[in-house]
């Protein structure tokens, strides 16, 4: 009997090894294909500020008069290794040698070669980090997905400044300064408590009391029915952020749709109280009045007048997801024209330019050059939105694939170099948030994994599932099993850092959602396999 078990275990290991080998080859093949290169004419060269690449890049180098060909020379930082090839234009991708270029900082020089083989000129130079490719296997889940999700949800639930909402409707900013981001953080807190009430009946009453206390607080600071921004709570509530000149008296347009509207819908589903559904519809109707003729919205407005305070347009994935939920789950069709106009603007402006810029409360958008602050937090969630449409077009799926690859190329780190102490200062696999904050953040892993899972569900792409699983499994590895918390930043920190200020509740709730999604997906696949075997 032991011999049979041993053979089965060996067979499973061999099967898994073969699958890993296949997936790694697939990944390497994809990495040779450049990502939306400017020479195609669909968009400008988007990688002017990029510092690292997983997909073979192509750069905006100009042709030189009299050149017969161009010599591409890539050199490692230590000068010990060099990779070369020739091409007919200086903007060709690095695909011919990309597989062999070693991980690390490298310098690229493209030389214009004349008819007699002489060097005419330098067509361009670039220095960047050739990053670690996807290479399975990675760590599996440390605990089952549902257990990990509920531990993280209960961590939020058990915090004293969260429990406070069961009896009081004023947040404790002294204990938790992130409550100053009222829409985003308190909205996520409400949704977390609704999830606990659904999943853990013994906690329902306490969780519902917390959710209602937090929701009533948001109502108390929201604009009245007749205001230009009717039903919108402020983006900034007291605290340091509100005191900055750039933020004082202003609000980020899509924040009400990102955290508050969905939270009120969660409360409606939990309680059946139409008050919360009507409040969410009221928020959507305010957006109807704000939408411009081209389908866009301003990124930031005066909280009292509703007037735009700068020329920057908002990225619309939070709003489009909110409107889609109103239509799909509740059959509310009045916002479909607004949703379609918003989609059209996204297609004709950011997707056409491929400039998926960051829009965060604590990072200014003023004075940014195109592509200066790309982020997965725009690219991946919009890919996920496109893939979850009832009937995505081929163009939708193609755009979603490009956005997922952009997120991986610029922000996913499958590994890191060792630090000076021979330890990793950052924990991989992980996803960096944005160019202006190059830090691995749990919510960013959730963004990218969500989009990858949606692509897998839409197309059956097993490589996407493997990549998503690696990112999600790492959340369970990073989780503190004695408390349930998943840290916001996946970095090695000094011991004197206060953990409460380093845990952003909306990020932790994003972990809860993706872990629950993975639990449901794996359970569905296991049930389907059992059904096949029993036929």
Q: What is the DSSP string of 315-373?
A: P-HHHHHHHHHHHHHH---TTHHHHHHHHHHHHHTHHHHT--B--BTTB--TTPPTTTT
Could you tell me if 300 and 203 lie in one domain?
Answer: yes
Could you tell me if 165 and 68 lie in one domain?
Answer: no
pLDDT digits (tens, 9 = 90+) for 62-106: 999 999 999 999 999 998 999 999 999 999 999 999 999 999 999
Q: Which domain holds residue 214?
A: 145-530
| pLDDT value at 143 more than 90 | yes
Please report where in the chains the tokens 């060996």 appear, as a residue: 10
Q: Which of 8-17, 33-42, 108-117 has the lowest mean pLDDT?
A: 8-17
3-state secondary structure of 100: coil
Per-residue confidence (pLDDT) for residue 3, from 0 to 100: 43
Residue (of 304, 77, 276) closest to 191 by Cα position:
276
Q: Which of 149-153, 235-239, 481-485 has the lowest mean pLDDT?
A: 235-239
DSSP string of 456-524, one letter each residue: HHHH--HHHHHHHHHHHHHHHHHS-TTT----SB-B---TTS-HHHH--HHHHHHHHHHHHHHHHHHHH
Helices (H), 164-305: 187-199, 204-220, 239-243, 255, 261-271, 274-290
Q: In this structure, are residues 310 and 364 in contact, taking their beta carbons and an 8 Å threshold?
A: no
Q: How far apart are CA 220 and CA 231, in angstroms?
A: 10
Q: What is the mean pLDDT of residues 334-361?
A: 94
Domain membership flag for residue 409? yes
Q: Of 95, 130, 165, which residue is a domain's last?
A: 130
CATH code, domain with 55: 2.60.40.3760
| pLDDT value at 230 more than 50 | yes
Per-residue confidence (pLDDT) for residue 419, from 0 to 100: 85
Could you tell me if 89 and 179 lie in one domain?
Answer: no
pLDDT digits (tens, 9 = 90+) for 483-510: 999 999 999 876 666 555 578 999 999 9
| pLDDT value at 366 more than 90 | no
Residue 85, strand partner residues: 72
Could you tell me if 245 and 320 lie in one domain?
Answer: yes
**Inter-CA distances, 448 with 376, 384, 433, 471, Å:** 7, 9, 11, 8
Q: How far apart are CA 521 and CA 456, in angstroms?
A: 11
Q: In this structure, are residues 222 and 231 in contact, taking their beta carbons and an 8 Å threshold?
A: yes
**Checking phi first, is residue 503 left (phi over 0); if not, alpha (psi -120 to 50) or beta?**
beta
Could you tell me if 421 and 323 lie in one domain?
Answer: yes
| pLDDT value at 188 more than 80 | yes
| pLDDT value at 242 more than 50 | yes
Helices (H), 126-236: 145-158, 160-163, 187-199, 204-220
Could you tell me if 360 and 466 lie in one domain?
Answer: yes
Per-residue confidence (pLDDT) for residue 499, from 0 to 100: 52
Could you tell me if 118 and 150 lie in one domain?
Answer: no
Could you tell me if 173 and 215 lie in one domain?
Answer: yes
Q: In this structure, are residues 507 and 488 in contact, taking their beta carbons and an 8 Å threshold?
A: yes
Q: Which backbone phi and psi does 123 adopt, to 5 degrees?
A: -80, -25
Domain membership flag for residue 137? no
Beta strand extents in 48-91 (DSSP E only): 52-53, 69-76, 82-87
Per-residue confidence (pLDDT) for residue 10, from 0 to 100: 45
As for how many domains the chain has, the answer is 2
Could you tell me if 124 and 149 lie in one domain?
Answer: no
Q: What is the mean pLDDT of residues 192-199?
A: 98
Residue 8: pLDDT band (50, 70, 90) is very low
Per-residue confidence (pLDDT) for residue 9, from 0 to 100: 41
Residue 252, strand partner residues: 300
More confident residue, 497 or 202: 202
Q: What is the pTM of this model?
A: 0.94
Residue 288 tokens, joined: 């109807």
Could you tell me if 100 and 152 lie in one domain?
Answer: no
Residue 244 tokens, joined: 């900055």
| pLDDT value at 247 more than 50 | yes
Q: How far apart are CA 455 and CA 465, in angstroms?
A: 8
Q: What is the mean pLDDT of residues 230-236?
A: 94
Query: Dihedral of CA 412/478/506/501: which sign?
Result: negative
- The percentage of residues in the chain with a pLDDT greater than 90, rounded to a whole number, is 84
| pLDDT value at 535 more than 80 | no
Residue (of 106, 109, 110) closest to 78 by Cα position:
106
Could you tell me if 109 and 161 lie in one domain?
Answer: no
Q: In this structure, are residues 214 and 186 in contact, taking their beta carbons and an 8 Å threshold?
A: yes
Please report where in the chains the tokens 């130079």 appear, as a residue: 125
Domain membership flag for residue 36? no
Q: How far apart are CA 40 and CA 58, in angstroms?
A: 11
Residue (of 188, 140, 146) closest to 517 by Cα position:
146
Per-residue confidence (pLDDT) for residue 208, from 0 to 100: 98
Q: Which of 52-56, 204-208, 479-483 has the lowest mean pLDDT?
A: 479-483
Domain membership flag for residue 31? no
Q: Which of 157-161, 236-240, 342-346, 367-371 has the lowest mean pLDDT?
A: 236-240
Domain membership flag for residue 12? no
3-state secondary structure of 244: coil
Query: Dihedral of CA 429/433/435/440: which sign?
Result: negative
Q: Of 72, 98, 130, which residue is a domain's last?
A: 130
Q: How far apart are CA 234 and CA 247, in angstroms?
A: 10
Could you tell me if 112 and 150 lie in one domain?
Answer: no
Sorted by sequence, the CB contacts under 8 Å of residue 270 that are 6+ apart come out as: 194, 197, 198, 208, 211
Residue 183 tokens, joined: 């829409």
Q: Are strands 250-252 and 104-113 parallel, antiparallel or unpaired?
A: unpaired
More confident residue, 421 or 483: 483
| pLDDT value at 524 more than 50 | yes
Domain membership flag for residue 19? no
**Inter-CA distances, 204 with 118, 140, 146, 186, Å:** 77, 31, 18, 18
Mean pLDDT of the chain: 93
DSSP 21: H
Residue (of 48, 66, 68, 65) closest to 57 by Cα position:
48
| pLDDT value at 337 more than 80 | yes
| pLDDT value at 332 more than 60 | yes
DSSP 126: E
Domain membership flag for residue 43? no
Sorted by sequence, the CB contacts under 8 Å of residue 166 that are 6+ apart come out as: 206, 209, 210, 213
Per-residue confidence (pLDDT) for residue 80, from 0 to 100: 92
Q: How far apart are CA 88 and CA 112, in angstroms?
A: 10
CATH code, domain with 323: 1.50.10.20
Q: Of 100, 130, 160, which residue is a domain's last?
A: 130
Domain membership flag for residue 287? yes
Q: In this structure, are residues 155 and 169 in contact, taking their beta carbons and an 8 Å threshold?
A: no
């Amino acid at each position: 009997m032991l011999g049979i078990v041993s053979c089965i275990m060996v067979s499973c290991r061999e099967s898994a090894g073969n699958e890993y080998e296949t997936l790694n080859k697939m990944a390497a093949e994809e990495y040779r294909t450049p990502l939306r290169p400017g020479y195609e004419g669909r968009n400008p060269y988007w990688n002017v500020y990029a510092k690292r690449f997983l997909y073979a890049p192509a750069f905006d180098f100009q042709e030189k008069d009299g050149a017969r060909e161009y010599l591409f020379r890539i050199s490692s930082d230590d000068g010990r290794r060099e990779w070369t090839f020739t091409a007919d234009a200086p903007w060709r991708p690095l695909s011919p040698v990309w597989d062999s270029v070693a991980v690390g900082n490298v310098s690229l020089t493209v030389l214009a070669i004349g008819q007699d083989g002489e060097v005419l000129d330098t067509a361009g130079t670039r220095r960047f980090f050739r990053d670690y490719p996807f290479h399975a296997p990675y760590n599996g889940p440390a605990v089952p997905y549902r257990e990990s999700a509920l531990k993280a949800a209960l961590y939020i639930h058990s915090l004293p400044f969260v429990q406070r909402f069961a009896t009081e409707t004023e947040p404790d900013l002294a204990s938790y300064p992130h409550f100053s981001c009222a829409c985003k953080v308190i909205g996520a807190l409400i949704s977390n408590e609704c999830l606990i009430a659904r999943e853990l009946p013994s906690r329902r009453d306490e969780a519902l009391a917390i959710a209602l206390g937090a929701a009533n607080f948001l109502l108390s600071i929201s604009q009245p029915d007749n205001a230009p921004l009717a039903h919108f709570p402020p983006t900034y509530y007291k605290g340091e952020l509100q005191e900055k000149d750039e933020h004082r008296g202003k609000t980020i347009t899509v924040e009400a749709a990102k955290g508050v509207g969905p939270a009120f819908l969660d409360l409606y589903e939990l309680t059946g109280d139409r008050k919360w559904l009507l409040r969410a519809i009221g928020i959507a109707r305010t957006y109807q009045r704000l939408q411009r003729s081209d389908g866009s919205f301003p990124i930031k407005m005066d909280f009292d007048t509703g007037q735009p305070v700068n020329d920057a347009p908002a990225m619309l994935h939070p709003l489009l997801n909110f409107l889609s939920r109103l239509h799909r789950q509740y059959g509310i069709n009045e916002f479909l024209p607004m949703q379609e106009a918003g989609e059209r603007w996204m297609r004709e402006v950011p997707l056409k330019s491929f400039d998926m810029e960051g829009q965060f409360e604590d990072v200014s958008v003023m004075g940014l050059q195109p592509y200066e602050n790309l982020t997965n937090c725009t690219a991946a969630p919009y890919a996920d939105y496109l893939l979850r449409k009832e009937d995505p077009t081929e163009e939708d799926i193609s755009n979603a694939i490009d956005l997922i690859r952009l997120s991986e190329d610029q922000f996913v780190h499958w590994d890191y170099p060792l630090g000076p102490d021979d330890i990793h200062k950052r924990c991989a696999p992980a996803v960096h948030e944005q160019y202006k904050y190059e830090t691995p953040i749990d919510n960013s892993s959730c963004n990218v994994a969500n989009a990858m899972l949606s692509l897998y569900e839409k197309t059956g792409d097993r490589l996407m599932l493997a990549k998503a699983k690696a990112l999600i499994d790492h959340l369970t590895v990073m989780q503190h099993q004695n408390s349930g918390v998943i840290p916001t930043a996946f970095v090695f920190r000094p011991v004197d850092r206060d953990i409460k200020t380093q845990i952003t509740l909306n990020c932790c709730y994003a972990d809860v959602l993706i872990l629950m999604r993975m639990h449901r997906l794996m359970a569905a696949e296991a049930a389907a396999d059992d059904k096949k075997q029993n036929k």
